[in-house]
Amino acid sequence: MTDTSAQTPSGPPAVPNAVPNADGAGTYEGAPAKPEAAPRRSFLDTLELDTRLLGMIGAFILLALAFQFMTDGRFLTPRNIFNLTIQTVSVAIMATGMVFVIVTRHIDLSVGSLLATASAVMAMTQTRILPDMMGLELGHWAIPYITILVGLITGTVIGAFQGWLIGYLAIPAFIVTLGGLLVWRNVAWYLTSGQTIGPLDPTFMKLGGINGTLGTQWSWIFGVLAVLAAIWALWSARRNKQAHGFHVKPMWAELTVFAAIGVAILGFVAILNAYEVPIRRLERQAARAGETLPEGFSAGYGIPISVLLLIGVAVVMTIVARRTRLGRYIFATGGNPDAAELSGINTRLLTVKVFAIMGALCAISAVVASARLANHSNDIGTLDELRVIAAAVIGGTALSGGLGTIYGAILGALIMQSLQSGMAMVGVDAPFQNIVVGTVLVAAVLIDIIYRKKAGLK
């Protein structure tokens, strides 16, 4: 019989009062446990970027490269990017409001028709009412400002009225806004007697895009200020996290994000500045000013004023969503309407506010759309309701409510417009364009459902 007490163990020496740990080794009682190694994080995890946002940016880049190849290099030219930008603004502005509507578990099918009514009201105000009834001469400095104010009041009142029907009379939003789609489109027709109204006020038309830009110098100034503002916002968020003891990214990750934002903003400005104003237009402008255009002179368009308007709307809507009580109430109601009402939120009044905001944004979009066209036409805003809803959904707004981002909706609008513009440049027929857009919308919802299931979201 072998004396096992004399054998030397192959592991660590026996220790009195030792407690075996997970791997079978003994440790002293009360001794600090061996710290576990932190799991290694990937580069993207360390940057802590929104994976959905990265996916949308990647999809946009692939889409742009595909159309660049199919159009023999015409898609990513400064001219086309400039046109693509000003064409996106109108839908993108309304998409930011549609985020709030869908987050609260509603839908608005009337936005295109409401845009048409606001456009008709503003066109009649500046071409008929103010000159004929109030005696203001065409070109008077007050005409565009009064016109925009009237349009905003019109859109807000109509939106609030629809919200009242939904919130206080409990009529489903689908029915109310479906009726609004038919009603407001034909109200616009009766206001103008079915005529195209124009030309519009020159100052008013500067808000449409090509008729109003910052020029190259002011565009660079705006770009630098935008980069500084973005860096300041990110740095302030980092300091707030540190002050409250939250985890922050490594400094190299912060600097990487800063650099990416700076390159994106300044690169965008450089592309818009590279689109030069046609020489004949410069000659006409010089002639009107009584000057002679210097030989070899050239000038770039720069950032359109309508893009500045979109940026302003995006900033305001983001602040409302993240920093105000109204924004918290909107997302809380969308997450669980019954719990929100039981917690004291007036969900009926909240519905009125959300649709009033949507109406005001439709009026702002009407300014941009009619100013870009230089007139009001009967078909303005046609099918915009579908484009706006698609932009919000593609941008990650959940149809089940409670989730959505403003920047996602804007990027969704850009993807939608890029898809349509690219197909038009390739020569795809309009019916097939609608087939592709519809297919993309359904695919985006399917991808969103799969993503939320894998992420454990509702």
Q: What is the mean pLDDT of each run of 10 residues along the chain (458 residues)?
A: 45 48 46 52 68 82 91 90 93 96 95 96 92 79 93 97 96 95 94 89 88 90 94 89 83 86 93 87 75 77 93 95 94 91 93 97 95 91 90 87 90 91 88 84 79 68
* pLDDT on residue 24: 45
Count of beta carbons in the 10 Å neighbourhood of residue 254: 18
The DSSP code sequence of 412-446 is: HHHHHHHHHHHHHHHT--HHHHHHHHHHHHHHHHH
Where is 19: in which H helix or E strand? strand 19-20
Please enumerate, as own/partner, the contacts of 266-270 that have beta carbons within 8 Å and a separation of 24 or more. Answer: 266/223, 266/224, 266/227, 268/223, 269/219, 269/220, 269/222, 269/223, 269/302, 269/303
Q: Are 207 and 309 in contact (CB under 8 A)?
A: yes
**pLDDT of the residue at 7:** 47
pLDDT at 436: 85
Q: What is the pLDDT of residue 183?
A: 96
pLDDT at residue 39, rounded to an integer: 57
CA gap 184, 268 in Å, rounded:
37
Alpha helices in 244-397 (DSSP H): 251-273, 279-288, 305-323, 325-335, 337-342, 347-373, 384-394
Residue-level pLDDT at 8:
44
Q: CA 239 → CA 30, 228, 319, 332, distances in Å? A: 38, 16, 19, 27
Q: What token pair was written down for 20?
A: 């075996």
pLDDT at 117: 96
Structure tokens at 23: 């791997």
Q: How many CB atoms lie within 10 A of CB 337?
A: 17
Per-residue confidence (pLDDT) for residue 81, from 0 to 100? 93
- What is the pTM for the complete model shown? 0.87
Q: Give the C-alpha separation, 104 to 323, whole Å.
A: 17
Check: CB of residue 151 under 8 Å from CB of residue 370: no
Whole-angstrom distance, CA of residue 159 vs CA of residue 174: 14
Angle at which helices 251-273 and 215-243 pack, to 10 degrees? 160
Contact 223, 266 (CB under 8 A): yes
First to last CA, the chain: 66
Question: 311 burial class (0-12, 13-18, 19+ CB within 10 angstroms)?
Answer: middle
The helix (H) or strand (E) run that includes residue 27 is strand 26-27
| pLDDT at residue 281, rounded to an integer | 77
What local confidence, expressed as pLDDT, does residue 140 receive? 82
Q: What is the pLDDT of residue 47?
A: 66
What residue segments make up the domains of the chain, in order of their start?
88-210+340-455
Provide the pLDDT for residue 135: 75
The pLDDT of residue 126 is 92
Predicted pLDDT at 44: 63
Cα distance between residue 362 and residue 397, in whole Å? 19
